[in-house]
Copies of this chain bind each other. A is one copy, B any other.
């Protein structure tokens, strides 16, 4: 899998999963990796970034095994961000596909 493709997209994936339910980091890795490989070295910095930007809040919960889980919950700005980035992603895909199909004019 081309690593470059994932740039920017993994953030949408995280936002999208969080839009459906609160998750902790380790859980997000497993959830997203069902479709797209993502490593812990990617998810934790990403989550911290989202928190710094105010798109998520966190709360701790005990775990049966291992360290306590840090759950992430979308804020209102996070939901807005999720929506906007999803839209932008779809527009981008449409542009790329048009280009790959050889449709030359933006009007087509």
Contacts and interface: CB of A to CB of B under 8 A. Distances in A.
B16 A92 contact: no
Interface stretch (A49-57, A69-77, A81-89): A81-89
Contacts of A2: 8, 85, 88-89, 92
Nearest to A37: B95
A89 B96 contact: yes
26 contacts: A1-B88, A1-B92, A2-B88, A3-B8, A4-B7, A4-B8, A4-B9, A5-B7, A5-B9, A5-B88, A5-B89, A7-B7, A12-B96, A12-B100, A16-B99, A16-B102, A34-B104, A35-B95, A35-B98, A35-B99, A35-B106, A36-B95, A36-B99, A86-B100, A89-B96, A93-B93
Interface of A: 1-5, 7-9, 12-13, 16-17, 20, 31-32, 34-36, 85-86, 88-89, 92-93, 95-96, 98-100, 102, 104-106
